[in-house]
Amino acid sequence: MQVADPERSRVILIGSSRYTDAELPDLPAVSATVRDLREFFTDPRAGVGVVPDRHCVTLLNAPSLEKAGDQIFAASRAAESLLLVYYVGHGVISGRKHDLYLSLPGTRPGAPEFSALEYGKLRDAVLHSPARVKIIVLDCCFSGRVLSQSMAPVRRSLLAELDIEGTYVLTSAGQSENALIVAGEKHTAFSGRLLRLLWEGVEDGGEFLTVEDLYRALRSRMRAAGLSTPERRLTQDAQLMGLTLNRAVPGSGHRAPSPPALATGPPRRRAVRLSVIPVLAVAALAAWNLRPDPSPHRQSPPSVSQAAPTLTTATKTPAQTPTKTSTPTETPAPRNVATIVGSFDAASFSPDGRTLAISGTDRRMLLRDMTTGRKTSITLAGTPRRVRPAVFSPDSKTVAVRGEEDQTVRLWSVPGHRWLPLSARHAIGTWAVAFTPDGRTLATGGNDRNVFLWDVTGQRKIATLRTDNGWIWSLAISPDGKLLAAGSADHWVYLWDLDTHRTVGKLPGTPDGVWGVAFSPDGKLLAIADGKSKISLWNARSRNLVATLHDGHKKINSLAFSPDGRYLASCGEPDTSYVFDVAARRKVAQYAGSVVFSRDRDTFATVRAYGDVKIWRTR
C-alpha cells in the first residue's frame, strides 16, 4: 500500500463558525472541529501521513471569498501525493441549475453566487491538481443529497460534478438528512466521530488507515447512534492510499492526542433547529440541527441484543418494565450457531436454503454452503464499489452479481464455480435484479429508466420496458411469472404483463421513490415500500389497496416475505428490521440489522451494517 508523502501533500481545512447574515446561525462547534483537525494532521505524534504545519492551509472564518480562493488554488497546485480538502459549515443551493455553495462568514443566502464558495470552482481546483489522490470531505446538510441517486433530475448535474478522476468524496449525511450538532459535544456529530477514529484507529483495518476504512467505521457508528448516514463517491483507486497509521493495530508505536469526548450527561429533551429559512425560488438553505445526545442514557426502543436476536413485540411497555419477546413462530429465543466475521452489509439465502450469499464493502461476494460450511469467494473485477445483495435463480444454481451503481449484472454458476457468458448491461447504473420463476428470464432495472428482459440461456436481450421518467430501484416478479412490478424514483410502481411485455397499470408511491417491492409467496399481495415510514399492501390481481402498515423507519431499503407468507420484513434506516404479521396487519418484532429469511423455517440470518453475519436457529 502506498502511503501519502507528507512533503508532497497538502491539507486544506475550510470552516465558518460566524456569519454576518441573520439567516445563517453561528456554529461554534465548527471552530473546535477545524482546530482539532489541524492539530491531528500536523502533530508528529499522529505518525505517518500527517503534513508539516506549513502544508496545512486553514481557512477558519475566511475574511473574503477572494482570499479563500487564492489559498485553495495555490495549495491544490502544490500537492503531488495527497490533496485533502475538508469543509464544515452551512451549505446553500442556488441558481437555475441548483448549484451547491459552501458558506463563508459574509455569505448572503439570497445571493450566494457573490458571497460563498461555489462547489464547482472548488471542484475545478481539485480536478486540476497534480496530486495522485484527492479527497474531498463535505460536512454540511446538502452534501448527501448531492450524492444521492434519488435526487430530482434537475440536480443530476451536481452528481456529475462530484465525479472527479482519482478522487474520493465523503459527505456527512444521506439524502434528506440534516447534518447534526449533538448537544454537549465539542464538534459536529460527523467530524467529532471522524476525529475519534483518526486518533483511536479502526480495529478491523490494516497497518495504515485509508479513507475507505474511516468511511466504513464512521457509517456504522453513526447509523448505530441514530445520527445522519455518511455517504461517499469514489473513482479509480483513491480509497487505497494510506493516510496515517492505524493506532488500533497492536505495535503501531505511535501515541496520538487524546480522542475528543462525546457528550455523556443527561440529554436535552428537545431537538432545536439552528436555522429555519423558507425555501426560496432560487435558493434553499440546508439547515443544521441541534440534536439530543444519542448516548446509552437516552431511553430508546428495545432492540436485539448482541447475544441473540430476540424479537421485541410492538406493544408499548412502561419504563423500567421488561420487554416481552417472541419470535415470528412463537418459539423460544434462537441460538447463534455460526458467525461469519467481516465488514458485510447484505446477505441472501438461495431458494433451496443450501447457500448463503454475503457481500460487503469490498469487491467480493462469499457463498457459504450451509451444510458443510465451505466458503467460495467471488471477486467482481472492475467495480470500484461494494458488491450489492445477491439474487439467486429459482433453482439456486445461478446467482446474479452486481457492484453498487455498476452498469453490468453478471451471472455466476454455483455448481460450476465460474462466470456465465451473459452480462446484462445498462447505459447507466443498475439497481435492481429479478429472475422469473422458471429461471429462463432475468429482469434488470437501472438509472436509464428502463427495465431490460434477458434470455439467460440464449444470452441476449429480448425486451425493453420503458417508464415515464423514473430510475428503477426495485423489481419483483409474481410467483406465476405473469406480472412484473418495478419501483421507481418518480414515485410510481410500474406493472407489466410478462407474456405481452405491455404495461398493465401503475400504483402510487411517494415523491421519495419506491425502494422496495415484493410479492407474497401465493401471489395475492404486492407490498410496496411507500416512502419513509409506510408499507402499502395491494391486491395483486384487482390492484386495490388492502392495508397500510405503519413502519417507522427513516427510510425503507427493502421488503421480503417469509417463505410461508406469514410475515413481512422491512429493512431500513437506522439499520433496523421490523417484522409484520401479514394477516393481523401489525408489527410483531424488531431486529437490529437486516433479517434474511431461509426456506428452512428454523434458520435465518442477521447482518449489521458493516459488521458480522450471524446465523441463527430457533430449534
pLDDT digits (tens, 9 = 90+) for 252-287: 544 444 555 544 433 332 332 323 222 222 333 334
Task: Give the pLDDT score at 305.
Answer: 29
Q: Which three cell numbers stand for residue 361?
A: 464493502
Span 333-348, pLDDT tens digits: 677 788 887 778 788 8
pLDDT of residue 608: 79
Give the confidence band of 124 by pLDDT, cuts at 50, 70, 90: confident
Residue 306 lies in a domain: no
Element (H, E) at 141: none
Residues 376 and 281 in one domain: no
Residue 3 DSSP symbol: B
Under 8 Å between Cβ of 510 and 503? no
DSSP E strands: which ranges in 323-456? 325-326, 335-349, 355-360, 364-369, 375-379, 391-392, 398-401, 408-413, 418-425, 430-435, 441-446, 450-455
Alpha helices in 489-595 (DSSP H): none
Dist. CA 77–CA 72, nearest whole Å: 9
pLDDT in tens, 146-158: 454 322 233 333 4
Do both 339 and 482 map to the same domain?
yes
Residues 210 and 320 in one domain: no
Indicate whether this model's pTM tops 0.75: no
Q: Is residue 301 part of a domain?
A: no
Whether 223 and 348 share a structural domain? no
Handedness of CA 15, 20, 24, 29 (dihedral sign): positive
Query: Does 300 map to a domain?
Result: no
Whether residue 303 lies inside any domain: the answer is no
Residue 607 corresponds to which cell in the numbers above? 447482518
CB atoms within 10 A of CB 375: 12
Query: What is the total count of domains within the chain?
Result: 2
Place of cell 425555501: 279
**Residues 475 and 582 grouped into a single domain:** yes
Q: Which band of pLDDT confidence, cut at 50, 70 and 90, is reported for residue 78?
A: very high
pLDDT (0 to 100) of residue 248: 78
Residues 190 and 324 in one domain: no
User: Are 52 and 103 contacting, i.e. CB atoms less than 8 angstroms apart?
Assistant: no
CATH number for the domain harbouring residue 109: 3.40.50.1460
Q: Do 293 and 184 meet the contact criterion of CB atoms below 8 Å apart?
A: yes
Containing domain of residue 211, as a range? 6-291
Tell whether 307 is covered by a domain.
no
Query: Are 343 and 222 contained in the same domain?
Result: no
Query: Which residue type does 318 have?
Result: P
Does residue 298 belong to any structural domain of this protein? Answer: no
pLDDT digit string, tens, across residues 442-490: 998 877 778 889 898 888 888 888 887 667 888 999 999 999 998 887 7
DSSP state at residue 55: G
To the nearest whole number, what is the mean pLDDT of the chain? Answer: 75
462: CATH: 2.130.10.10
- Is 589 contained in some domain? yes
Higher pLDDT, 60 or 248: 60
Cell of 112: 450566494
Does any domain span residue 297?
A: no
Q: Which grid cell sits at 608?
A: 449489521
Rounded distance, CA 303 to CA 301, Å? 6
